Structure 1
Amino acid sequence: MKYLENTVSSVTRLDRFKEEYMQLAEAVNAFKSEAVQLVIAERLVTLIHGAADENATLIKSSNVPFLGKKPGATKAVQRLLQTDYFDSPRAIGDIVAHCAKLFGKDYKTSEFSGVLSFHVKEGNLSRTEGEYSSRFVYFR
């Protein structure tokens, strides 16, 4: 009888562990970056096994690329408008490259052309042909 109780208890603990593991896997997999997933998994294993290194540091935003949902072209340009980025003339290629670096997402120039045109029409930006090419540059 004692054996049966221990078996039922073990099965219950195993079911609970599987459920918690699935929730944990879902949370870790929500991060697209494998590097971030690996850091989180290592920290969790360290905490679970009680071997936390006293010198270990918490994950800081400066250590990890931009987390969360990465903005589309519209939000990216809006965020740039809140800074002094457009105080000097910028070609569309420069804007796309800057956003890709800033937000860690690959953008296409075609995603930005409509957004930039909209902001020109709204008066948030101005544009003129570049000094050395016939391509537009955008500025305030």
Structure 2
Amino acid sequence: MKKMFLLMAAASLLFACNENTAQKEKKEEVKEGVEKIGENVKETANSAGDYLAEQKKKAEEDLSDRITKIDQKIEDLKKDGSEKGKKARKKLEELKVEMNKKLDDVKNSSESAWNDTKKGVDTLLDKSDKEWTELKQNFKKLFE
């Protein structure tokens, strides 16, 4: 009976050791899986950050280019002393102020606010296109 009891105890011990090894292996697999997920999350976050930085840079460049064009036209209009030239220059200066504000918004925009900022930039660029076209039509001689 003692032998049987010892044999059962040894078998139980062996079974318990095997179970711990299997559990350890499972824990290692889970740990590796979690680490891999963590790396993927980091890569995704870096990609999202890079994408956001790229979008912000493009918006800044678009606004800066438009502001430069407006500045050039304002300088040209300063040479023209007519009343129409003054009106056109005033409209362009107002548009420039608005663009500079939006440029500041883009530069200071957080990731969470980016979608709203981007919509505002797109809306302003569309508005400036329309106003530019309108100014060219209304002041043809000044825009030649």
Q: Taking structure 1 as the reference length, what is the TM-score of the superposition? A: 0.33
Larger Rg, first or second structure (1 or 2): 2
Bigger relative contact order, structure 1 or 2, given CA contacts below 8 A and separation 6+? 2
Bigger strand fraction: 1
Q: Give the structure-2-normalised TM-score.
A: 0.33
Structure with greater proportional helix content: 2
